[in-house]
Amino acid sequence: MNVAMRPPRIAAPADRFVAQYEGLARHLPGDSAARAASAEILRRLGLPNVREEAWRFTNLTSLAATHFHEPHTATGEITGIETMPALQGFAGLPRLVFVQGHYSAHLSVLPPGISVSSFAENGEFGTAARPAHERMVALNTMLAEDGAVINVPENVDGGTLLLISLGQDGENTPMAFHPRHSIRVANGGKLALIEITSGHGAYLHNAVTDIHVSDGAQLTHVRLQDEGAAAFHFATIYLNVAASAAYHGFTLSVGAQLARTEFHARLTGSAAHITLNAAQLLRAHQHSDFTSVLRHEAAGCTSRQTVKHVLSGHARGVFQGKIEVARGAQQTDGYQMNQALLLSPDAEIDCKPQLEIYADDVKCSHGATVGALDPEQMFYLQSRGIGREEARAILVRAFRDEALNMVDHEAARAMLDGVIDQRWSIPA
């Protein structure tokens, strides 16, 4: 009898993560039952693979081939954070700094007027995360050791707060860390959160963030993913926006060899609003995936999403965006657009926009454009004495600036612009 051989399980390294959990279980904070349940999920299913629809464009083979260790770098070894280029426009502002996933008190400057603690202190996982459905979240739930817990009181303007995560390998040994963050903005409160992830070497940064914006509150959330070139970055954000509240989000991805940002957003109160924009500037063999699910659950809510990609070399960008409109969520207004600029014949964009609507009084639309630089625009610029490479730079910058102009926070926009100028050049 011939028995077909099964292909090797792409998620084999989950076994090593589970073994790491078994060695640490007694020392990890929080609900041990939730951790054990997540470990069982990973034992049974492993990490995601391309045979699953949600992961069909993002292959974790390179992650599977890397043997990660628990971080052992002391936070005291990190110095000179004030000189980081990304922080030059934020001198004197409060900041929470995490090194290898652990809170660093001596690098942080606590904010006035809002409550800040750490996951290591309270071990609260929250109720939004779904380890059974998102297995990178199961991995985080199993191994999370620390993270930021931020609470803005009612009717308090918390100003601008930096959340900085620094990663690195340990003497050429790949490390893995799994921060667990929670942000709560109470009724009528306000906060501008600038989140920066950066580092060097080979490491895995797998973060989960639970965000709740209460009635009438506002949260501006600007995220810069500038990980080391050999790093892996996964971020899963659960977002709940209540009645008359607003979340204004922007993510810029320029770092990591393999990255995925995944939003699960719910508009749960009438007149809630979400802006969920992003830009991905990738080169060489970088792969970055921006996946979002925006669920309208109440009447009269609006959502806006524009995601732009600039891809060169053999880079691959992914956008998966879904707008869900629940039964009864009348007067929904949802808009979604994905635009990609390919600077190389070897670059690739995979785009999958979706609408799932169960209400009849809605206005929802989505679209996508993919193309190279416009030859007529190139000809126009060159006919006026502008060299070919300068003409390319002008057109790419115009496309890029359209994305950055979606950021209303002036200092954050200037920071993103500076990082791009320093870290990303336009290939010939």
Question: What tens digit of pLDDT does each residue of 326-366 get?
Answer: 999 999 999 999 999 999 999 999 999 999 999 999 999 99
The CA distance from 347 to 317, in Å, is: 8
Q: What residue type is 280 in one-letter code?
A: Q
Whole-angstrom distance, CA of residue 283 vs CA of residue 314 = 7
396, 403 Cβ separation under 8 angstroms: no
Question: What does the DSSP 8-state code read for residue 101?
Answer: T
Q: Are 138 and 170 spatial neighbours (Cβ–Cβ below 8 Å)?
A: no
Residue 43 has phi, psi (to 5 degrees) of -60, -40
Helix ranges restricted to H, 78-155: 119-122, 135-143
- pLDDT at residue 94 in the model: 96
**Cβ neighbour number for residue 5 with a 10 Å cutoff:** 6
- Rounded to whole angstroms, the Cα distance separating 253 from 259 reads 8
What mean pLDDT is reported for the chain? 91
Does 426 fall in a domain?
no
Q: Please indicate, yes or no, if residue 1 is contained in any of the structural domains.
A: no
**What range defines the domain where residue 171 resides?**
13-67+91-374
φ, ψ at 161 (rounded to 5°): -130, 135
SS3 breakdown of the chain: % helix, strand, coil, rounded to 5?
25, 40, 35
Cα–Cα distance for residue pair 369/348, rounded to 1 Å = 13
Q: 33 lies in a domain?
A: yes
Q: Is residue 392 part of a domain?
A: no
Residue bearing the bigger pLDDT, 248 or 128: 248
Question: Contact, 253 vs 282, CB < 8 A?
Answer: yes
In angstroms, rounded to a whole number, what is the distance separating the alpha carbons of residues 88 and 285? Answer: 29
Kindly state whether residue 397 falls inside one of the protein's structural domains.
Answer: no
Distance CA(254)–CA(403), nearest Å, equals 13
Structure tokens given for 157? 């303007």
Burial class (CB in 10 A: 0-12, 13-18, 19+), 363: exposed
Q: Is 151 left (phi over 0), alpha (psi -120 to 50) or beta?
A: beta
Least confident piece of the model among 4-18, 28-42, 117-131: 4-18
- Alpha carbon distance 158, 217 (integer Å): 11
The amino acid at 389? E
What separation in angstroms does the CA of 392 have from each of 96, 253, 407, 423?
A: 39, 21, 24, 18
Residue 274 banded pLDDT, cuts 50, 70, 90: very high
Tens digit of each residue's pLDDT (9 = 90 or more) over 28-71: 999 999 999 999 999 999 999 999 999 999 999 888 888 888 87
Tell me which H or E stretch contains 418.
Answer: helix 410-423
- Count of domains in the chain? 1
As given in the structure block, the two tokens for residue 255 are 């770092």
CB environment 218-253: b (16+ within 10 A), e (fewer): bbbbbbbbbbbbbbbbbbbbbbbbbbbbbbbbbbbb
228-272 confidence digits (pLDDT tens)? 999 999 999 999 999 999 999 999 999 999 999 999 999 999 999
Q: Is the alpha carbon torsion for 290, 200, 401, 387 positive or negative?
A: negative
User: Is beta strand 302-311 parallel, antiparallel or unpaired with respect to 273-282?
Assistant: parallel
Q: Is residue 40 part of a domain?
A: yes
Of 305, 358, 369, 311, residue with least CA distance to 330: 358
Q: Residue 6 — pLDDT band, cuts 50, 70, 90?
A: very low
pLDDT > 70? residue 424: no
pLDDT score for 375: 86
Angle at 122 between CA 17 and CA 21, to 5 degrees: 15
In a domain, 44, yes or no: yes
408 within domain boundaries: no
Closest by CA to 204, choosing from 236, 168, 255, 254, is 168
Neighbours of 144 (CB within 10 A): 28
Please report the sign of the dihedral spanned by the C-alpha atoms of residue 398, residue 391, residue 375, residue 385.
Answer: positive
First to last CA, the chain: 57
Percent of the chain, pLDDT > 90? 75
